[in-house]
């Protein structure tokens, strides 16, 4: 069996991916960086059919979202995530939600947004941002973290399932006709 360092050294693609993720940094974003976040959101691999302006991101910060930027080893900001202590959407719009789950929502944290620039997709950045958000929520003493995933975004669904999230409900037409979201939850005691 070849030692791990031998595998990394002989597989340049694996080495490059490993080195990129290893040397990245995540920092809290400031209001002066909303243009960067907006630019990343315009270049995500999943086409949302709309773009979010810097003003929209500033408004989210004013509502309590805490944003974090991921910087690659090249010094380029390639991804972002945001967390919040309250669900920003109306709970009554979520179907298949058990009464116990409604109680959990009161003392939980929320991964509100996450995006990685399409030129930096499939390098582990999304997974690192999810874990960073989970850790931030856990550090605040919360028991659960929730996230809404667009029902057609299969890549995101797969990542969240691998991270231990479970499907807890569905929010049909949450942001307009056909804009369905799946509510996912992870138990922070297990993560």
CA angle 7/162/171 to nearest 5° reads: 150
- DSSP 3-state assignment of 89? coil
Task: Return the percentage of the chain with pLDDT > 70, whole number.
Answer: 79
Which segments within 2-152 are labelled E, that is strand? Answer: 25-28, 66-71, 77-84, 109-116, 144-150
For residue 106, CA distances in Å to 11, 81, 143 come to 47, 21, 10
Residue 43 has a pLDDT of 78
- Average pLDDT rounded to a whole number, residues 25-39: 94
Q: 70 with 22: CB under 8 angstroms? A: no
Residue 22 has a pLDDT of 52
**What's this model's pTM, rounded to 2 decimal places?**
0.80
Residue 46 has a pLDDT of 59
- Multiple choice CATH, 24-187, 3.40.50.200, 3.40.50.720, 3.40.630.30, 3.40.50.740: 3.40.630.30
Residue 88 has a pLDDT of 60
Residue 91 has a pLDDT of 64
- Average pLDDT rounded to a whole number, residues 16-43: 80
Q: 137 with 83: CB under 8 angstroms? A: yes
Residue 176 has a pLDDT of 75
Mean pLDDT of the residues in the chain:
81
Tell me the pLDDT tens digit for each residue of 86-113. 776 566 667 776 767 777 777 889 998 8
Domain segments of the chain as ranges: 24-187
Whole-angstrom Cα distance, residue 191 to residue 185? 11
Q: Using the structure block, give the residue that is written with the tokens 């550090």.
A: 139
Whole-angstrom Cα distance, residue 70 to residue 98? 35
- Average pLDDT rounded to a whole number, residues 42-67: 81
């Amino acid at each position: 069996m070849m030692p791990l360092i031998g595998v990394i050294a002989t597989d340049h693609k694996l080495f490059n991916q490993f080195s990129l993720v290893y040397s990245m940094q995540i920092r809290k974003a400031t209001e002066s960086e909303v243009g960067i976040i907006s630019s990343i959101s315009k270049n995500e691999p999943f086409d949302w059919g709309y773009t979010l302006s810097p003003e929209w991101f500033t408004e989210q910060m004013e509502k309590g979202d805490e944003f974090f930027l991921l910087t690659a080893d090249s010094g380029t900001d390639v991804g972002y995530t945001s967390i919040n202590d309250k669900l920003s959407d109306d709970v009554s719009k979520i179907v298949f939600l058990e009464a116990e789950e409604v109680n959990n929502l009161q003392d939980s944290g929320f991964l509100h947004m996450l995006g990685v620039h399409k030129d930096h997709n499939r390098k582990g950045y999304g997974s690192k941002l999810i874990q960073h958000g989970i850790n931030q929520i856990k550090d605040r003493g919360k028991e659960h973290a929730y996230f809404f995933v667009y029902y057609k975004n299969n890549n995101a669904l797969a990542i969240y399932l691998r991270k231990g999230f479970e499907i807890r409900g569905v929010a049909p037409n949450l942001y307009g006709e056909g804009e369905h979201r799946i509510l996912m939850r992870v138990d922070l005691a297990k993560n």
